[in-house]
Structure 1
Amino acid sequence: MLFSEIPFFVFFLTYLTLHLLLPARWRLYLVIGGSTVFYAWWRVEDVWLPYLLTLIGWAGAIWIDLAADARARKRRLVIAVFALFTPLLVVKYAFFLLTNIVAILPGGFVTPDEMTSFRFALPLGISFMTFTITAYVVDTYRSQYPVEKKLQKLLAYVLFFPHLIAGPILRPNELLPQFSHWTRAIDARFTLGVCLFAIGLTKKLVFADIIAGVVDHVYASTAQQLSAWEYLLAIHGFSVQIYCDFSGYTDMAIGTACILGIRLPINFRRPYAAHSIVDFWRRWHITLSSWLRDYLYIPLGGNRNGEGRRLLNLMTTMVLGGLWHGAAWTFVIWGALHGTALVGVHLLRARLARWNIVVPAWLGILGTFYFVTFAWVYFRAPDIGTAHRVLQGPFTASWDGFRTFAATYAFELILVFIFLVTHRYDAHSRVRMAVRTWNKGILWPVVVAMFALAITVSQGSSAKFIYFEF
């Protein structure tokens, strides 16, 4: 049930009707029931997962709260967090770990059939759900949020369908209080929600899905079949595709929640306008980067134990953040590249300040964009060999046939150009301003036109969102 396909619109119209008709005191149960249907639509056999994780988190927080002293609280926290991460570790990483262990052992130690038994189908949203409920347990341990006694309220926090599959990753204070103070069924946020959803739908169907065609073609082909122009378009195109795909999903998630009177946190803030890799991670997947900072980097020691330990903690956090995205060496390399860049920027900044050198803003933006684009190749590639082929492509493939290339990929080139020109204006604050100031006789036709454009270009079909893989 993709946000960008007909079944979701049918589901959401039904859900919204019930949301409007039911008294506020019943909306929590509507969240649980409706979100369970939404999740079960993918694979009904996985519907136990959010319930299990919520039960572990709910019981774990209460157990920690009942501890007699600080040492017992910390010990119980470790047990609770380990229990929460066990399903993720088994389902997502068991096969990866086993194959790498077997690779260094004598032949015949494990048969192929035995190894295959450790390859599990990845339940949708398992990483996001695990991080969400872990945030609740840790925040209650830190006394940053009170222990929730009502299991159904915590279940609604995890299951709330707009963020269930691919975020934003929520903290308990960002959603749970809203379940106790429902706003009017339809308020001023309704129009904002529809506008955000239309923008997200356009990003997904018009930009991400169309550009995905050339990206998928290049990554699946052999070197002899492609020109250097195609490699360049695929490398740049994936930067556009993954942003439009993931931020498009987030826009639709936030918009859907707005229509229901719920606020979700912003997850993107024009990341390709970042003037450094540090700035990039304050703008890209904000709820993940802040989660990694608060629940991994700071517990590792953060910047409390000297500059060397700080940089080591930074590198460790980014490598584990890369591994969070997938059980493959390509993701480890991607995380290590970003960790190295962050360490390098921190070291370079100190020296530039000492030498009174100021880097021009345009150079910082350009350098950051091309580093991120380079690293995305490892993120997208199915294996390291493919990543290296794509990176070498512009230098080893032929530069002939530009006219044929331009004619074949004219629409994709136009979309990349439009994105690069308009990205600096992609901000929710501008949408809010438009909702407040534009004449409704102009605003609503623009919104309808965006829906019509997205549906027409996509011809009624949509590819799966990239972050559903994680």
Structure 2
Amino acid sequence: MLFNSAPFLFGFLPLALAGFALARQAGWRPAMAFLTLASVVFYAWWNPAYAWPLAVSIAGNFLFGLAIARTRGTPWGGAVLAAGLAANLAFLGIFKYERFFAESVAPLVGLMIEARGLELPLGVSFFTFTQIAYLVDVRRDLARDNDALSYTLFVTFFPHLIAGPIIHHKEMMPQFRQPRRQDGAAENLAAGLSLFAIGLFKKAVIADWVASYVSPGFSAAASGQELSLGAAWTCALAYTVQIYFDFSGYSDMAVGLARLFGIDLPVNFNSPYKAASIIEFWRRWHMTLSRFLRDYLYFPLGGGRCGPVRRHLNLMIVMALGGLWHGAAWTFLAWGCLHGLMLVGNHAWRAVRPAEPGRRELVAGWVLTQVLVIVAWVFFRAPDFGAALIILKGMAGLSGLSGGAVKTAWDGLALALILMAVCALAPNSQQIMRTTGPGLEPVAAPERLARLAWRPSSGWAWTLAALLACSVMTLWRTSEFLYYQF
């Protein structure tokens, strides 16, 4: 079920809110039970026959969590954790990487394996990483859960289940046991619906509108046709804008939906296209994934404690695996490795130039960062290396300044540039909604933006109603979120 679909907006969500309100009157535990049931229905709506992997994952990790807690002080504790992590990685590998291994990796070592082509469960990467973090936290004595109901809700809570944010047990379970915002139902509804409306507009109107300028160029490149300078930059810039508004829109909707039930999810975006360096970009983009990779992969590998060479190697490993997490393809690996190289270069530059950058350096750093990010997005979106190289060749002007397989859509290029300027200059949705405390650890906002802050006024009510109306009028062409495929 999609957040931007009529069945969700006019069926599931009103029933979920009404049922939750009724269950809440009987106590918080019945409300938790209802939310769990609603979340299972939400997930199974896609295809009930393929809901079993989620059930198996939850049951297996709950049992592993109990076993790790009981063996924490024994010599067996580490082995039990290792078994749990191996089981999760095997689970993810079977569903997500089996075809990639059989068709792309095995032939490189002389093996012939027939791919089964298993159906990829929705959100498998997100709910698997969420539970891997839980098992590690249990081992570290940061989490413990002996209650199957609360653990099931932790994993299945529908606002975050399909495409994140990636949550931690220690930040969610206190809320599931006793909501932080239990006495502010009216404020929860106002703030949650407002943030949801902003996110829905991002996805349904902006991202889906820009998407029409993305596919022609990438499709032409996939068929081997050359692209002119303008056409190549149009599709690359349009995709850069599309993926931001699509995924940040989903994250806004997720935080807004959780707030309707008095729950705060972690913030996932903080204007990444304002970043003046790749290091800063990864502190702003998909923040919960960055946190996961840092806490559960980079630090265990040694982080930066083992000298610059080891730190750079750790960065490359983390980003390569982060790329593969997004998809089972060499292009995703290339995207991750590119960002790894950029992070290594950024850290090396800071080592030789530790002084605070001046205004000109910040502007130059911003331009360079955006160009590098756009180039890397080409590999992320392209179906194969051949298509990616054709687009990059066009962006470099090596395929001509005009003509080519796809005519330059100057309106699309102008739209993408305008939206990039909005991303770089305008406050983000979390900053706009900061007076309501949106999400866990809301992002800071400059004082000069105070007049743009959300408030319960008639002006904001009309503005959000207009955004919602524009979004609803697009439901006839409902499209999936880009991160659903991951």
TM over 0.5: yes
RMSD: 2.3
Q: Residue 137 of structure 2 is aligned with which of 136, 139, 147?
A: 139
1:29: how far off?
1.1
C-alpha distance in 2, partners of 1:235/1:59?
A: 46
The equivalent residue for 1:191 is 190
1:412: how far off?
6.5
- Judge conservation of contact 1:192–1:435 (CA < 8 Å) in 2: no
Does residue 53 of structure 1 match 2:52? no
The one-letter amino acid of 1:449's match is A
- Give 3-state SS (helix, strand or coil) of 2:265's partner: coil
Indicate how the Cα distance of structure 1 residues 16 and 423 shifts in structure 2: closer, same or farther if over 3 A, else same.
Answer: farther
The one-letter amino acid of 1:443's match is W
- Give 3-state SS (helix, strand or coil) of 1:299's partner: coil
Structure 1 window deviating more from structure 2 (119-128 vs 173-182): it is 173-182
CA distances 1:340-374 after superposition (whole Å, capped 9, x unpaired): 111111111111138x9757211111111111110
The equivalent residue for 1:11 is 12
CA distances 1:67-109 after superposition (whole Å, capped 9, x unpaired): 2745321111101111122211111112212223442356xx6
- Judge conservation of contact 2:241–2:416 (CA < 8 Å) in 1: no
C-alpha distance in 1, partners of 2:189/2:79?
A: 45
Structure 1 window deviating more from structure 2 (53-62 vs 356-365): it is 356-365
Alignment of 1:31-110 (within 5 A): 31-67=35-71, 69-104=73-108, 110=112
C-alpha distance in 1, partners of 2:357/2:423?
A: 31
Indicate how the Cα distance of structure 1 residues 290 and 306 shifts in structure 2: closer, same or farther if over 3 A, else same.
Answer: same
C-alpha distance in 2, partners of 1:400/1:292?
A: 42
- Judge conservation of contact 2:433–2:454 (CA < 8 Å) in 1: no
User: Structure 1 unaligned runs (5+)?
Assistant: none
- Give 3-state SS (helix, strand or coil) of 2:284's partner: coil
The equivalent residue for 1:319 is 320
- Judge conservation of contact 1:165–1:468 (CA < 8 Å) in 2: yes
Structure 1 window deviating more from structure 2 (311-320 vs 356-365): it is 356-365
CA distances 1:237-267 after superposition (whole Å, capped 9, x unpaired): 1110000000000001111111111100000
CA distances 1:173-226 after superposition (whole Å, capped 9, x unpaired): 221111111314724222111111111111111111111111111111156575
The equivalent residue for 1:2 is 2
C-alpha distance in 2, partners of 1:315/1:100?
A: 21
The equivalent residue for 1:284 is 285
TM-score (norm: length of structure 2): 0.89
The equivalent residue for 1:468 is 484
- Judge conservation of contact 1:322–1:336 (CA < 8 Å) in 2: yes
The one-letter amino acid of 1:49's match is P
Alignment of 1:140-159 (within 5 A): 140-145=138-143, 147-159=144-156
User: Structure 2 unaligned runs (5+)?
Assistant: 436-450
C-alpha distance in 2, partners of 1:103/1:60?
A: 35
1:435: how far off?
9.6
Indicate how the Cα distance of structure 1 residues 414 and 224 shifts in structure 2: closer, same or farther if over 3 A, else same.
Answer: same
Identity of aligned residues (%): 37
- Judge conservation of contact 1:278–1:345 (CA < 8 Å) in 2: yes
Structure 1 window deviating more from structure 2 (250-259 vs 389-398): it is 389-398
Does residue 388 of structure 1 match 2:386? no
The one-letter amino acid of 2:470's match is L
Indicate how the Cα distance of structure 1 residues 101 and 322 shifts in structure 2: closer, same or farther if over 3 A, else same.
Answer: closer
Q: Residue 470 of structure 2 is aligned with which of 450, 453, 457?
A: 453
The one-letter amino acid of 1:51's match is A
Alignment of 1:257-406 (within 5 A): 257-353=258-354, 360-394=361-395, 395-400=397-402
C-alpha distance in 1, partners of 2:370/2:453?
A: 33
Structure 1 window deviating more from structure 2 (458-467 vs 245-254): it is 458-467
- Judge conservation of contact 1:163–1:169 (CA < 8 Å) in 2: yes
Indicate how the Cα distance of structure 1 residues 253 and 5 shifts in structure 2: closer, same or farther if over 3 A, else same.
Answer: same
1:411: how far off?
6.0
Does residue 173 of structure 1 match 2:170? yes
The one-letter amino acid of 1:385's match is G
1:64: how far off?
1.4
- Judge conservation of contact 1:191–1:435 (CA < 8 Å) in 2: no
